[in-house]
Amino acid sequence: MDATPVWFMRQAGRYMAEYRAVRKKHTLLEICRQPELATEVTLQPVRALGVDAAILFADILLPLEPMGAPFEFAAGEGPVIHQPVREAADIERLRLFDPEEGLPHVLQAIRLLRKELDGKTPLIGFAGAPFTLASYLVEGGKSSHYALTKRLMYREPELWHALMHKLSEVVRRYLRAQIAAGAQAVQLFDSWIGALGQSDYVEFIKPHVRHILSDVEKAGVPVIHFGTGTSNLLELQRDAGGTVIGVDWRTPLADAIARLGDGVAVQGNLDPLVLDAPRPLLSRRVDEVLAAASNRLGHVFNLGHGILPETSPDAAKFVVDYVHERSRR
């Protein structure tokens, strides 16, 4: 590759008419559970935008069901966990599982995708990180303050670590299985970790993320470690693992690069809403990101978080082409 590679979090999604057409006939979970459908929507942005990576269409919550914590997506409300996990008995009930048995459709989608992509575009697998998964399990869905999650963490540290231990082992196996099935890189989404300060991260999170990433890194594929609101956690996240650190738009990319040092690559970090800006402002902000990483080997261009539903696919395509053109060496 002679230009900066670019892909977008949530590049397969409601902002694309092709995706909405599939969603008219199938729920999100149906798409995740039918490898042919997951393959189709994964390929849509690769065809339409010319991005440099496909990312498996799936949801970070998928492992919860085979763990014994079923959920659904309530209209307009996001995920709802049927039986939130708040006590010792709830945590004991959670099961470790073999991904080939618990999530065979995900691994089948990866195999199908590798055939379809035919070596032309690499495929990224992913999983949610333990804190982010725990926040859904404990709160029962989305949250503003993570009050129940933090209370469990502070008041019942042994239960907390037991929950995190199970989640991190599930995620470790799941990412390993995705790589074994053909994923050529994986991303760990610790989307909501930015709710925590440094002391909490060190004490309650880092050992569990390390458990996952120290093993997954041995598989020899790029491992992207991503979160939002992580300005104060970047060094700790780097130490927890990953060969690429994903940065949201709040942290200036040049600062992130300076702080992270030479041992890791960086991914990011355009504000997803800037895709909706007029082209002159959009170009200027893309230039700022590229300039921040210009003296850096190992920058993957991406947004700071997922594409939003109202975004124009034309803007996404514009950015792909613009990044390629401006970064060509």
Q: Show which residues are catalytic.
A: 10, 14, 23, 59, 136
At residue 273, what is the residue type? L
Query: CB 282 → a second copy: shortest distance, Å?
Result: 8
Query: CB 288 → a second copy: shortest distance, Å?
Result: 7
Among residues 84 and 252, whose Cβ is nearest to a second copy?
252
Among residues 148 and 219, whose Cβ is nearest to a second copy?
148
At residue 118, what is the residue type? D
Among residues 66 and 313, whose Cβ is nearest to a second copy?
313
- Residue 138, H or E segment: helix 130-139
Query: CB 146 → a second copy: shortest distance, Å?
Result: 7
Query: CB 320 → a second copy: shortest distance, Å?
Result: 20
Among residues 94 and 274, whose Cβ is nearest to a second copy?
274
Helix or strand or coil: residue 274?
Answer: helix
Query: CB 141 → a second copy: shortest distance, Å?
Result: 13
Among residues 185 and 193, whose Cβ is nearest to a second copy?
193
Listed in sequence order, the residues at least 6 apart from 124 whose beta carbon sits closer than 8 Å to its beta carbon are 7, 53, 54, 55, 56, 183, 184, 185, 186, 187, 224
In the chain the first and final C-alpha atoms are separated, in Å, by 9
3-state helix, strand, coil in the chain (%, to 5): 55, 15, 35
Tokens representing 11?
A: 């590049």
CA distance 218 to 253: 27
Mutual orientation of helices 279-292 and 253-260 as an angle, nearest 10°? Answer: 10
Integer CA distances (angstroms), 159 to 92, 136, 163, 165, 210, in order? 9, 16, 6, 10, 19
Beta pairing, strands 223-227 & 244-246: parallel
Among residues 28 and 254, whose Cβ is nearest to a second copy?
254
DSSP string for residues in 94-128: -----HHHHSHHHHHHHHHHHHHHTTSS-EEEEEE
CA distance 125 to 55: 6
Contacting positions for a second copy (CB under 8 A): 145-147, 150-151, 154-155, 194-200, 229, 231-232, 249-252, 255, 271-274, 276-278, 281, 285, 288, 308, 310
* CB-based contact 127:68 (threshold 8 Å): no
Query: CB 206 → a second copy: shortest distance, Å?
Result: 16
What secondary structure letter does DSSP report for 118?
A: T
Integer CA distances (angstroms), 205 to 161, 162, 201, in order? 9, 12, 5
